Structure 1
C-alpha cells in the first residue's frame, strides 16, 4: 500500500515519527466496528485550501488498539459508543492512502458534547446484549418497529424502585423508559445512545 505524507512524497512504509493532523468539530458519517477496539470511522470536516477557502473533506480513520477514544471529560469510550451524527475532534496521521476517501490511522477521537437535548422512548424490552452493550425495544415480531440503544459506562440504569441496577438484570418483556440522543442511525433497527434507563 502506497502512502504519502503532507508533501505528497510517496512512501513505501510510514515513517517512525508521523506528523499529526487534527479535524475539529467533525461529523461521523459511518462507523464499522469489528470489535470494541478495531474498525474504522468515516468523518467529514471543514478543511481549508491554499487560497484559505473552506470546503468539506472526508477521511476514513482506521481505529486500532492504540487509538484513544474518549469524551470531553476524559472518560474512556469504545467504537461501540460512536454513532453516526456525533460530533468529534480527531487526531490522525498525516500519512494516508491515495484512495477516495483517503484512509489514515487514528490516534485519538474525542466525542464532543451536544446541547443537553434528549428524546424519550417508552417501550417493551425485546432483548439485551451485555457483551456489546445493546438494549433492543419494540415489537419482537417486527424489526421495523424496534429501536436499538447502545449502553455505555455513563448510562444510568435504575430499577422500578429507583435503585441503580445493571443491564443484565433487564428481562425481555419489561417496560422501560429510555432517555436517549436526538440522533439515530438509518439502520434497521435504528440505533441511538442511551443516557438514562428506568424500569417501569
Structure 2
C-alpha cells in the first residue's frame, strides 16, 4: 500500500447512479491488442481512517462499446490512451475479486492535466415553512438562504 502526499491530484472512486466513477485516475499501464479491445490499469485515492490517503488500482476492460474521448471531447481510439495520462472513467459496479479488481469500462475521458477533484454533491435538505437563517437559530429551524438573502 502506497500513501499519498497532500498535493496528489488523484480522485476517489464513487457511485453515481448505476455506474462507478473515478475522476483524475492516473493511467499506470495500458494493454491494447487492437483498436477494438484492451485494458487500462488506473490508480486512484482511497481515504483511510485518520486522514491517511492510500493509492489503490483497478483494471478496466475496454471494448467496442467503450466510449473514449480526448481532452477536446472528440471521440478517440482505445489505443490512444497512454501510460502517464490522467483520465476520468465510468465503469460497471460489478468487479472481480482479483488483485487488482477488474471491471468493464463504459467510458474514458482523457484529460490534458488533472482537474481539481470535486467530491460528489450530497442533496441539500429542503425546508418549506421556515424563515431564512438568522444568527442564533438552529439549522433545523431555518431554510437555506438564496442569493441576496444573506
User: If the length of structure 1 is used for normalisation, what is the TM-score?
Assistant: 0.45
Q: 1:54 Cα deviation (Å)?
A: 2.4
Structure 1 unpaired stretches of 5+: 1-5, 7-17, 116-200
User: If the length of structure 2 is used for normalisation, what is the TM-score?
Assistant: 0.59
Match in the other structure for 1:102: 101
Alignment partner of 1:77 is 2:76: yes
Q: How many matched pairs?
A: 99
Residues of 2 paired with 1:89 and 1:50: CA distance?
25
List aligned pairs for 1:1-200, cutoff 5 A: 19-49=18-48, 53-114=52-113
> For residues 75 and 42 of structure 1, do their structure 2 counterparts lie closer, same or farther at Cα, with a shift above 3 Å needed?
same
Structure 2 unpaired stretches of 5+: 1-13, 115-150
Residues of 2 paired with 1:52 and 1:95: CA distance?
28
Report 1 or 2 for greater relative contact order, CA contacts < 8 Å, sequence distance ≥ 6.
2
> For residues 107 and 52 of structure 1, do their structure 2 counterparts lie closer, same or farther at Cα, with a shift above 3 Å needed?
farther
Match in the other structure for 2:118: none
> For residues 50 and 21 of structure 1, do their structure 2 counterparts lie closer, same or farther at Cα, with a shift above 3 Å needed?
farther
Give RMSD over aligned pairs.
Answer: 2.3
Residues of 2 paired with 1:45 and 1:59: CA distance?
8
Alignment partner of 2:76: what SS? coil
Higher strand share: 1
Alignment partner of 1:34: what SS? strand
